[in-house]
Amino acid sequence: MRARDGRADSYISLPLPAPLLSVPIPRLRVNSNLNSLWNHPLAMNPKSPLANLHPELIFLIASYLPLHCKPATLLSLALANRKLHDTVGLQCLYRSVVLRDADIALIFLQKIQIDNSLGTKIREIYISLTPDALSKCYSSIELFIQLVKAGALPLIHSLEIRQQSESRLSRLPFFPAGFINILLKKCPRLRALSVFGFLDYEEGQLKSSGLYDFALFRGFQKIGVANISPSVAGNKDLEYMFRNIPHLTSCIQYLHIDLQKSKRLFSVSAIFNLTFSRLTSLVLGGISIRMGDEHNLIRTEAMEFWRRHPHLERLELIDRLNKKTLFHDDTSVEILPNLKHLKCGFADALALANILHRLSTLSIIRSTNSQVPYLLRSVLPNGLPNLKSLEIHQTPGYYSAIPQFAKGVMWHEDENGIFHTGRPYLNGWNVTENFMHSIARGAPGVQELGLHGNPLSPKDITKITPALSTLQSLERLYYDGSLQAPESEGINLGAVPEFIQTARSLADSCPQLSMVTDMCMPILPYVSAMISRAEDGTVSTIIANMNGRGLQIGREHDAFLSNHCKWFSK
């Protein structure tokens, strides 16, 4: 499907074919005569910087590529010329393998089964299982288990396996009993393990696999256990896991534990009473302050924990049910001196106002009306000019339902910069009302912006475009839109042309904008509009495709970028 109006060409490309290592990658137009690839004048130019780089420098460059786009980027680089093909294609391409769905995973794992030498090239492997083909998900897991037992992946140091769906894959079995011991024996270099989204197919299966036996992971640098759901009887298994967390304190750098889908609620003290000597990244969900906990005691434990861990660079407190802060009001500027990336509720962000100027990325979940503008404009008169990425989950608050003591819910700033306090509209404020102009003034340097909450229609986007146009550095915009088909997890293709038109209007107003993503879908990938520009900066082409992922800045080490804020709207 194609549309023209004299300003730019617009294309719809749904869906894209999936490549072997990672989806998505740019579509390539290659002449049927493969020799023409090597005879391209630019590719063979001996003065090209890439053509003359020493292989070790190419390896170094490859190591700095963001993980979520590394396979696709290396694949494109390998097609540049014969020398880079020999260097990158044969030595770098298979080091980091990102398999984004069951189809790709099964094809690639079968290739390892056929060619044993391929498995020895892999150092890190990331597998995401989507609900497209349930039988292929089963087959992928079974084949992965076979390959591990056969010693076909002897040199991997990082493994992540996740399932996205909450329904169709809910009975997808996890690894068999004792598998973690086998994994560690067959992959002795393994130092990072993440498991997301699995349920107990049989009672105690997750525990019997060895997943909760953290004593096995001494020396590991990264452990992630998220969105897992043991059986009701399996809550004792989670208690076992918590008793084993102290085994991680000496070496762990990245710890991600999210138990929001478990049947039982755990006290955050299980973490806050410990000291992790090398911890730089902490993600917690489902184990925060709960009813019955002594809030002042827990908060005191938390403050002591923050003081003992000054090297934290990333902190995410993603418990959607917890509305109490884990920080003292007006927390000292000396707390968390190295923090660069923060995701938390509005109450915690408000308590941390004194240190927010150090952040590169900020994600605020659970905010009502204009609380985030209130933070950026009233609490922080100078705003956050150095912030590069801002993500906001906002819900309108009905006047009768708002706790009137909650800070910022009755506040707003008009377009003239005058602050007001008073009753919101009957249905509260959303991001189209007394909101975006304050965001643009308070965070003028953002390169990416995510807006979550009530779905935004094309008319809503048009309404906030004037404020967005003042964000001169804005490159990527993400929002919960209206592309999801009613009562379905599919896409309403009839709405895509209007989405492209909206993206084009945004691109004309925002000089640096290169991508617009509708994140309304419950699972990856999302629909994105990719914007190309001419040399003078005018929009030349817009292509809509199924390449959309989540926000990127600060996520360079993540294989799968998703919209985590969806959890907080359920």
For the domain that residue 497 is a member of, what is the CATH number? 3.80.10
Is 479 contained in some domain? yes
Task: Provide the pLDDT for residue 202.
Answer: 64
Among residues 43, 74, 93, the one where a domain terminates is 93
Alpha-carbon 206 to chain mean position: 25
189-203, 279-293, 312-326, 348-362: least confidently modelled range: 279-293
Note the pTM of the prediction, 2 decimals: 0.88
Contact 448, 471 (CB under 8 A): no
Report how far residue 208's alpha carbon sits from residue 180's, in angstroms, rounded to the nearest whole number.
9
| pLDDT at site 87 | 75
* DSSP 8-class letter at 15: S
Q: Is residue 130 part of a domain?
A: no
Which one has a higher pLDDT value, 320 or 508? 508
Q: Which of 74, 93, 112 is the last residue of a domain?
A: 93
pLDDT band for position 341 (cuts 50, 70, 90)? very high
Cα distances (angstroms) measured from residue 117 to each of 97, 108, 122, 150: 15, 13, 10, 13
pLDDT value at residue 205 = 81
Cα-Cα end-to-end distance for the chain = 35
Kindly state the percentage of the chain with pLDDT values over 90: 49
Structural domain range at position 66: 53-93
Residue 378 lies in a domain: yes
How many whole angstroms separate alpha carbon 304 and alpha carbon 301? Answer: 5
| Tally of domains in the chain | 2
**Which range, of 88-92, 217-221, 402-406, averages the lowest pLDDT?**
402-406
User: Which pLDDT value is given to residue 161?
Assistant: 93
So what's the pLDDT on residue 173? 67
Q: Percent of the chain having pLDDT more than 70? A: 80
Q: What distances in angstroms separate CA 134 from CA 80, 149, 167, 230, 252, one per listed residue?
A: 37, 23, 11, 21, 34
pLDDT band at 29 (very low <50, low <70, confident <90, very high): very low
Among 93, 121, 153, identify where a domain stops.
93
Kindly report the average pLDDT of the chain as a whole number: 83
Model confidence at 508, in pLDDT bands (50, 70, 90)? very high
Q: Is the pLDDT of residue 503 over 70?
A: yes
pLDDT of residue 171: 60
Q: Is 122 helix (H, G, I), strand (E, B) or coil?
A: coil
The string of pLDDT tens digits covering residues 117-167 is 999 999 999 999 876 677 888 899 999 999 999 999 999 999 999 887 654
**328 confidence band (pLDDT: 50, 70, 90):** confident
Strands (E), 422-505: 448-453, 476-479
- Give the tens place of pLDDT for each residue, 71-100: 888 888 888 777 777 777 667 888 999 998
Q: Are 153 and 190 in contact (CB under 8 A)?
A: no
Q: Does any domain span residue 360?
A: yes
- pLDDT at 307 (0 to 100): 96
- pLDDT single digits (tens) 43-76: 445 556 776 778 888 888 888 889 988 888 888 8
Give the Cα separation of 268 and 318 in Å (integer).
12
pLDDT value at residue 40: 41
Q: How far apart are CA 490 and CA 472, in angstroms?
A: 34
Structure confidence at residue 31 (pLDDT): 32
Residue of 186 and 68 predicted with greater confidence:
186
Structure-model confidence comparison of residues 279 and 400, the more confident one? 279
Report d(CA 324, CA 294) in Å as an integer. Answer: 11
For residues 508-518, give the mean pLDDT. Answer: 96
Identify the residue whose tokens are 């550095």.
473
